[in-house]
């Protein structure tokens, strides 16, 4: 894909660029936002800019793409490009924004690397940039066409039809199109972007996984993000601007601007092999959508739903997890809680989990009541294994041929992925979704 001369130059300069990429991207964003401050207010996630994770993601993407061009000149890194393109499409990124990024990125490269950046180096890395940019633009156009928004106008007003408190930190919002039109199609595991106007006038955007597929609407579940240090990011997180706004100000009847569903980590329609859905914390949202779809379609696959949380009280959709696994013919739930449980570790029991009465009679996962006595009895009969501590998949039998889907904090997914690889699950069968910039596993 790269011309021979450019490939030679990129190969020679890749170590220098990679070694300075963190400094380059930090300076790039400073230059970009100084010239175009509206991009920070209305497109980029201010929280990810504050904690440095967006810079890490851009650095990783550029370096990975360049290295791939050198090591595998006959094929593109389509998986990486597709993941980025889904994010861009959901944000409404436009082709005319790519030259703006190129201008400030190359200015940062020249400033950081100095005399190393001669005309030959600029031409070579310009080729890398536009190969990546044009590939992304093409994929993004296809995704927008498939979503029914070929003009790139992804924002559509939705009315908040209901709000349900799942836990003290997590609320579910049922959204219905304000124009009365049809709900866009989605696949289990996808997400939507939600744009809100904050008190300072900024229109900030966040992606939220669809946590269910209710008739006539979209369903998202949002955890209120507290500020502080988080594993896997270079600096302290500010408190979540958008999640805080939704929790404090959106109670029902308000209008939110929402994109069509996007996302490449989706439950496949084919295959009858075993499935493992492993999540931690709010990472359970796409897994619940997958589990609901499997139950609705009467899947007979062997399914293991594994979830880790701080305690039963902080575990969203706990009752729904029991209900849905109970509907499936060959599904089990494996739960780990960090807080020490007052029961025997590893005990297999029904819905009577520690604090289990808290979820009975509450709606947790769609917007329909499930307080019928028969439903509660059914939930209580569902087998589930509860353990104290961190998730350890070595304690359960992962069947041969398992396909795994992971979602949760990056350190959690790294640990679970390592456990799965050690148990013999091929890397090609392990899929993961990251909430925020993808820093890789």
**Catalytic, out of 127, 140, 169, 241:** 140
Per-residue DSSP letter, 262: B
Q: Rounded to a whole number, what is the distance in angstroms from the first to the last CA of the chain? A: 27
For the CA atoms of 340, 226, 260, 216, the dihedral, rounded to the nearest 10 degrees, stands at 60
Q: Label residue 395 left, alpha or beta by phi (over 0 means left) and psi (-120 to 50 means alpha).
A: alpha
Among residues 384, 293, 282, 286, which one has the least CA distance to residue 336? Answer: 384
For the CA atoms of 249, 253, 259, 264, the dihedral, rounded to the nearest 10 degrees, stands at 80
Cα four-point dihedral sign 158, 226, 292, 164:
negative
Is-catalytic flag, 140?
yes
Place of tokens 């490269």: 109
Sheet holding 430-433, edge to edge: 348-349, 384-388, 331-337, 303-309, 275-280, 403-407, 430-433
Q: Are 286 and 265 a contacting pair, CB within 8 Å? A: yes
Is-catalytic flag, 191?
no
The catalytic residue positions are 98, 140
């Amino acid at each position: 894909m790269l011309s021979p001369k450019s490939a030679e130059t990129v190969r020679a300069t890749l170590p220098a660029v990679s070694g300075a990429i963190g400094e380059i991207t930090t300076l790039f964003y400073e230059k970009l936002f100084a010239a175009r401050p509206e991009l920070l207010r209305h497109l980029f996630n201010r929280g990810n800019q504050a904690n440095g994770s967006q810079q890490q993601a851009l650095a990783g993407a550029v370096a990975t793409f360049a290295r791939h061009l050198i090591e595998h000149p006959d094929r593109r890194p389509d998986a990486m490009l597709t993941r980025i393109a889904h994010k861009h499409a959901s944000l409404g990124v436009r082709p005319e924004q790519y030259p703006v990024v190129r201008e400030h990125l190359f200015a940062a490269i020249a400033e950081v690397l100095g005399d190393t950046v001669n005309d030959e180096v600029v031409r070579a890395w310009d080729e890398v940039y536009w190969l990546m940019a044009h590939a992304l633009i093409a994929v993004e156009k296809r995704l927008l066409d498939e979503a029914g928004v070929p003009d790139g106008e992804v924002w559509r007003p939705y009315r908040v039809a209901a709000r349900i408190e799942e836990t003290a930190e997590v609320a579910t919002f049922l959204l219905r199109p304000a124009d009365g039109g049809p709900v866009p199609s989605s696949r289990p595991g996808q997400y939507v972007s939600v744009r809100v106007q904050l008190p300072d006038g900024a229109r900030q955007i966040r992606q939220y996984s669809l946590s269910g597929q209710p008739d006539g609407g979209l369903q998202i579940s949002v955890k209120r993000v507290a500020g502080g240090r988080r594993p896997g990011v270079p600096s302290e997180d500010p408190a979540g601007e958008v999640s805080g706004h939704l929790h404090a100000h959106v109670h029902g009847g308000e209008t939110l601007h929402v994109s069509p569903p996007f996302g490449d980590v989706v439950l496949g329609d084919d295959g009858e092999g075993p499935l493992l859905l492993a999540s931690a914390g709010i990472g359970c949202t796409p897994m619940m959508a997958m589990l609901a779809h499997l139950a609705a379609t009467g899947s007979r696959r062997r399914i293991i739903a594994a979830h880790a949380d701080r305690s039963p009280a902080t575990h969203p959709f706990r009752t729904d997890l029991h209900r849905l696994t109970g509907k499936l013919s060959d599904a089990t739930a494996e739960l780990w809680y960090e807080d020490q449980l007052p029961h025997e570790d590893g005990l297999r029991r029904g819905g009577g989990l520690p604090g289990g009465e808290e979820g009975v009679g509450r709606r947790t996962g769609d917007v329909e009541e499930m307080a019928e006595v028969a439903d509660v009895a059914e939930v209580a009969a569902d087998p589930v294994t509860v353990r104290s501590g961190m998730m350890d998949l070595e304690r359960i039998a992962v069947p041969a041929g398992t396909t795994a889907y992971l979602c949760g904090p990056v350190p959690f997914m790294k640990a679970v992925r390592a456990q799965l690889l050690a148990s013999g699950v091929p890397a090609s069968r392990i899929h993961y979704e990251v909430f925020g910039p993808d820093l890789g596993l």
